[in-house]
């Protein structure tokens, strides 16, 4: 089905970022508490990219047809639950294919599979997936290109939010934005040392962070 690589990436993307990251930009999501149990639905991996009226794949155990996705909506800045339409449930192989509703807005979706009062741990669609940056050793005042997927705010990918952790800690100015590539400016007064670049989706609160990329700032 061609989703193996995305499933593998999904296992790496959504680890909780360090507590020293700033307050995320844009509206947060009021997802509420999620009750997980040892005998409830379990999601191993998932495709990472799906917009309104598009399908995604979950792989796991004890999956059901009760799939909800908390995500953006035109009438709710903090998002709301959308019911995903299940297209395929292969219980023997632990594969589920579902489609997001057409009326949803585009952005990060926090997906859970429910079985009565129990729920799978949430997985996130459309979170930033930075893969690498070039160069990874830079001087103050230079630019860095970031490559990956969903690096700018959906659906138009015209704005991007990138936090430089270390080097003084600040939001970076984007020079160029797209879904698959960003170019950002390292401030002239950035402090030398080991840093990390954190890309945020611009909405979704804590669910909008991608993983950090290592970067070293050196004085020329």
Domain ranges of the chain: 31-125, 129-217
Domain 31-125 and domain 129-217, same fold? Reply is no
pLDDT given for residue 75 in this prediction: 86
Please state which of the ranges 94-98, 115-119, 150-154, 180-184 shows the lowest mean pLDDT: 115-119
More confident residue, 168 or 195: 195
Q: How much is the average pLDDT of 73-95?
A: 93
d(CA 206, CA 28): 7
16-49 pLDDT tens trace: 455 478 888 888 888 877 888 889 999 999 999 9
pLDDT given for residue 17 in this prediction: 54
Of the options 3.40.50.2300, 2.70.50.70, 2.40.50.140, 3.40.630.30, the CATH number for the domain spanning 129-217: 2.70.50.70
Is the pTM here over 0.75, yes or no? yes
Q: Report the CATH fold assignment for 31-125.
A: Immunoglobulin-like (2.60.40)
Q: Do residues 8 and 59 lie in contact, with contact meaning Cβ atoms separated by under 8 Å?
A: no
- Cβ atoms within 10 Å, residue 99: 16
**Closest Cα to residue 45, out of 19, 69, 63, 25?**
63
């Amino acid at each position: 089905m061609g989703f193996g690589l995305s499933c593998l990436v999904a296992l790496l993307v959504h680890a909780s970022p360090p507590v020293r990251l700033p307050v995320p930009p844009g509206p947060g999501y009021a997802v509420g508490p999620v009750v997980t149990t040892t005998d409830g639905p379990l999601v191993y991996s998932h495709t990472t990219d799906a917009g309104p009226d598009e399908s995604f794949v979950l792989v796991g155990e004890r999956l059901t047809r009760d799939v909800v996705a908390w995500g953006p909506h035109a009438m709710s800045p903090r998002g709301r639950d959308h019911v995903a339409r299940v297209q395929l449930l292969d219980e023997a192989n632990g594969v589920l294919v579902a489609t997001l509703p057409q009326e949803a807005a585009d952005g990060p979706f926090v997906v859970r599979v429910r079985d009565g009062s129990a729920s799978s741990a949430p997985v996130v669609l459309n979170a930033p997936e930075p893969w690498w940056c070039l160069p990874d050793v830079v001087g103050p005042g230079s630019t860095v290109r970031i490559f990956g997927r969903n690096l700018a705010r959906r659906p138009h990918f015209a704005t991007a939010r990138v936090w430089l952790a270390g080097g003084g800690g600040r939001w970076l100015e984007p020079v160029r934005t797209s879904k698959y590539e960003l170019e950002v400016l390292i401030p002239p007064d950035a402090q030398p040392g080991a840093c990390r670049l954190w890309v945020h989706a611009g909405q979704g609160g804590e669910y909008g962070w991608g993983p950090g990329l290592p970067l070293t700032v050196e004085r020329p």
